[in-house]
Structure 1
Amino acid sequence: MRLSTVLGIRRIKLRNRIFSLGIIITGMLSLVFGVVTFYGQNAGNFVMSVDTAARLRGIVLSTDPEFETKSARLMSDPINEARDITYAWLKLDEITQTNGNYTDIDHDYVAYTFYLKNEGMETVDLNYYIRITEVYNNLDRGIRILVIEDGVETMYMKRDTISGNFYPEYMPEAEYFLTDNTVMRKMIVNLKPEQVKKFSIVVWLEGNDPDTTDDLLGGMIKMQMNFTINRLN
């Protein structure tokens, strides 16, 4: 089971777009605005799936909360020109109310909502994690990954390479990547038969990050998200 995401960056300024939207922000975004292309294997942004052991125990995924259609693997739509944005621009209410891929008409970023269900006959513990498998031009320094599990938000980032107070008060405090390659790792405890979990995943290039500079242009990153049965089950 895996979630795969690839991001590439090209140089394009955002000034015209910001003014055309009527947005006036002081001291918010970095001086350099790049364009990010989100794309992945099989033309998707990222892939979510359960591994064989979890599938055999009845763990399934769906973009339908009623699970009329279900799968061990889901894929989002590609995004071609995503400029760096900031957390306040995310339309989180709309994202979490839209099943599957969410498209923001104002800004470009990865946003996908899906459901996980235990259709097996026994209660299980599930591990899930996001891991970086490839990265170029240090793109991992500027991205943010927001995981919303049953309405609870957790934002992940790599530690800044320079110290300072760069982030406005509206931004939630982020958890740092566990390692250079592992973004996060959590466990779903006692997932009972017929129980459903709701997830929304959002990925963007954060403009307030001091590491979002020209150095990231041409960068690329690839990630996997895995759901697995806890080995102690």
Structure 2
Amino acid sequence: MDEKKKSPERRPEDIPKEKRQKRLFPKTRAGIVLTEDEVQEIKRGRRQLRKDLRARGIKSKKDFELTASSLMLYFDKQKKWGLLLWLFHGRGLWALLAALGALMLVLFALSTISEMRGHFTINMSGGLFREGFSLSETVGFENPTTRLFAQPAEDVPCCSIRDILPDVNDHDGQHNEEIYFAYTYYIRNEGESTVNYTWKMLLNAESRNLSTAAWVMIFEDDQMKFYAKAREDGTQEAIPSFGDDSRGYPERPFYDFAAQPQEQYEQVGTSGGRDFYRIIPYSFESDTVVATGAVTEVEPQEVHKYTVVIWLEGDDPDCTNDLIGGHAGMEMNFKLETEEDTEESSFEDSWNDFWDGLTFWDELT
């Protein structure tokens, strides 16, 4: 039998320079080096596939990878010894020396980022920055910025939504109490165009499954919604549980601020002439996405206000001693409506942009 002819492999130098990947190790599929456009297309396809599978209740990484592989939405795994071979390549040594020149910058970035893990950050995209948007802890924008950082609330005990101060939305900047985290800030369009923006709140760091009992309240222009992770069986959280009308809250906390009160409060009964209620948080949108929102037709000098409150809900069945010593880090990211959506945290986006931007890899290899 004649030996089958192998299809010619595409080498990096076969790709026009403007279409090459700017990575230390170019991504490949089936042994073929991909163009940057092909890499981005596969990434977009994988993100969409992940959303589609989660919508169908499929969360297994194995099932995801099998499906992605069948749709050609995969990259070859990098061989662990590839770096060693590359280092012994003459040009590899020069690239290594060039990398050392950027090492101090990388270490500084990593040290800063490691301090932020477990903190709460607010970030703007490059598109919003170019449109002239800014962030501030005060409505007067005395100190406008493109990113805000809040210190974590430490050693907080479990508490109830009823324990949150009713004026929690009336204070600027960070105003934690001993039992919860609270932060108020503003975003303003200082540009000349009327634009639409979206926001997404992400869980970017966690230990001891703290998010199972961490509830989040978000005020957007004084309209409030609160959120909690769905139960282990995927059903929506509620206190008291759906079907249990034997007890309830004697009041409806923050009812007057609720954006959709009919969806988040439900009367369970009356006793002694007094009504009792069930509170129903919206479920986190995914394991890493707490909530999303959008604001349209934001005119120049228009300001929008946000308050974020995070607490460990003591009436949540998942609020147990197993959470002691745990931590959770969250971030809220703003971007233009027209910019590409992603579930990556701001840290991951920044790191990927930084790494892919090291153009000397392309010049030396």
Query: Do both proteins adopt the same fold according to a TM-score greater than 0.5, normalized to the shorter chain?
Result: yes
Larger Rg: 2
Counterpart for residue 100 of structure 1: 173
Instruction: Name the CA distance, whole Å, in 1 between partners of 2:339 and 2:323.
Output: 41
Q: Please point out which of 197, 200, 215 is paired with 1:126.
A: 197
Relative distance call for 1:63 and 1:138 in structure 2 (3 A) is same
Aligned to 2:319, the other structure's residue is in SS state coil
Letter in 2 for 1:173: I
In the alignment, which residue of structure 2 is the partner of 1:173?
280
In 2, are the aligned partners of 1:160 and 1:209 still within 8 Å (CA)? no
With 198-207 and 75-84 compared, the bigger mean Cα shift is at 75-84
TM superposition score normalised by structure 1: 0.74
**1:71 corresponding residue in structure 2:** 145
Q: Is the 8 A contact 1:43 1:78 kept in 2?
A: no
The count of residues paired between Structure 1 and Structure 2 equals: 191
Picking from 196, 212, 234, the partner of 1:141 is 212
In the alignment, the residues of structure 2 paired with residue 159 and residue 76 of structure 1 have an alpha-carbon distance, to the nearest angstrom, of 26
Q: Secondary structure at the match of 2:127?
A: helix
Aligned CA RMSD, in angstroms, stands at 2.3
Q: Which amino acid aligns with 1:110?
A: F
The unaligned stretches of length 5 or more in structure 1 are: 1-39
Q: Deviations over 1:189-209 (max 9, x none)?
A: 111111100110101110010
* Matched letter for residue 164 of structure 2: L
Cα displacement (A) at 1:153: 0.6
1:25 maps to: none
Give the helix-richer structure, 1 or 2: 2
Question: Could you say if the C-alpha distance between residues 133 and 80 of structure 1 is closer, same or farther in structure 2, counting changes exceeding 3 Å?
Answer: closer
1:76 Cα deviation from its structure 2 partner: 1.9
Q: Distance in 1 between matches of 2:313 and 2:152?
A: 19
Structure 1 residue 160, shift from structure 2 partner: 2.5
Structure 1 position 66, deviation (Å):
1.5
Q: Distance in 2 between matches of 1:220 and 1:42?
A: 12
How far did 1:80 drift? 2.3
TM-score (norm 2): 0.49
Structure 1: 4+ residue segments shifted above 6 A: 162-165
Instruction: Give the match for residue 258 of structure 2.
Output: none
Give how far 1:150 is off: 0.7
2:289 maps to a residue whose letter is T
1:73 and 1:175, CA in 2 relative to 1: closer, same or farther beyond 3 A? Answer: same
Shift of 1:42: 4.6
Matched, 1:185 2:256: no
The percentage of counterpart residues that share the same residue type is: 27
Matched, 1:115 2:179: no
Question: 1:225, CA displacement in angstroms?
Answer: 1.3
1 or 2 for the larger relative contact order (CA 8 Å, sep ≥6)? 1
One-letter amino acid of the structure 2 residue matched with residue 64 of structure 1: T
